[in-house]
Amino acid sequence: MDAGENIVLVGFMGAGKSSVGRLLAKRLGRCFVETDDLIVAGEGRSIPEIFQADGEPRFRQLEADMLDLLRLKRGEVIATGGGFPCPEGRMEALKAMGTVVWLAGDFETLYARALRSGSRPMLEGKPKEEVAALYRAREPYYRQAHFVVETPGLGVDQVVRRILSLLRHRARVG
Ligand code: S3P
């Protein structure tokens, strides 16, 4: 695996991008960064605060603004927010930055996981059907990733092992 190559994780809320990314980075001895954390650090306020005060369009703009910063990264593991890859052309931009891995799963599993952890403005006050429609709209973007790992039924460690094996195999076959 090229030491300068970034590994970019994409997927819907609840896919485990943060926990998988953190462990993957540790296993590879790389830095781990999350687009959400970069936004929070830059703004000095939480994601729910940004959504509440300025709305979703502002948050999406902050995500877009992040691209220039991400382009400077070398050899890092980057976890993106669930909506990050979805504007037109964004997956191409991410794929130009490194190897993109989609942490996938069926909607029911992801939704249950997403509800369990963290405060997520995209879920708040929304009926499940609306979130399912969001998932369906986003799937074609995630699908453009270089690799997909189906996460339901797997622990974080197993998901990381699958990613490492995909990357190593790819390194061998060239
Ligand atoms: C969002 C997902 C969140 C975060 C923000 C918006 C989305 O990240 O970026 O709340 O639109 O799906 P996670 O996917 O890490 O929950």
Residue 174 has pLDDT above 70, yes or no: no
Q: From the CB of 100, is ligand 1 less than 6 Å away?
A: no
* In contact, 12 and 138? CB cutoff 8 Å: yes
Q: What is the mean pLDDT of residues 30-39?
A: 97
pLDDT at 170: 81
* Residue bearing the CA closest to ligand 1, atom 9: 81
> In terms of pLDDT, which residue wins out, 118 or 86?
86
* In contact, 104 and 15? CB cutoff 8 Å: yes
Tell me the pLDDT of the chain averaged across its residues: 95
* Residue bearing the CA closest to ligand 1, atom 12: 82
pLDDT digits (tens, 9 = 90+) for 155-164: 999 999 999 9
pLDDT at 102: 98
pLDDT digits (tens, 9 = 90+) for 103-113: 999 999 999 99
Residue 168 has pLDDT above 80, yes or no: yes
pLDDT at 57: 98
Query: Angle 160-167-1 (CA atoms, 0-180°, nearest 5)?
Result: 120
pLDDT at 20: 98
> In terms of pLDDT, which residue wins out, 117 or 21?
21
CATH topology of domain 6-173: Rossmann fold (3.40.50)
Extents of the domains making up the chain: 6-173
Q: From the CB of 63, is ligand 1 less than 6 Å away?
A: no
**For a pLDDT cut of 90, what percent of the chain falls above it?**
91
Calpha distance 102→159 (Å, rounded) = 11
Q: What is the mean pLDDT of residues 64-89?
A: 96
pLDDT at 173: 63
pTM given for the model:
0.96
Q: From the CB of 105, is ligand 1 less than 6 Å away?
A: no
Q: From the CB of 138, is ligand 1 less than 6 Å away?
A: no
* Residue bearing the CA closest to ligand 1, atom 15: 81
DSSP string of the chain, one letter each residue: --TT-EEEEE--TTS-HHHHHHHHHHHHT--EEEHHHHHHHHHTS-HHHHHHHHHHHHHHHHHHHTHHHHTT--S-EEEPPTTTT-STTHHHHHHHHEEEEEEE--HHHHHHHHHHSS--TTTTT--HHHHHHHHHHHHHHHTTSSEEEE-TT--HHHHHHHHHHHHHHHHHH-
> Which residue among 20, 36, 52, 139 has the greatest number of ligand 1 atoms within 8 angstroms of its CB, and so is best to mutate?
36
Q: What is the mean pLDDT of residues 131-158?
A: 97
Which of these ranges, 76-80, 104-108, 129-133, 170-174, has the smallest mean pLDDT? 170-174
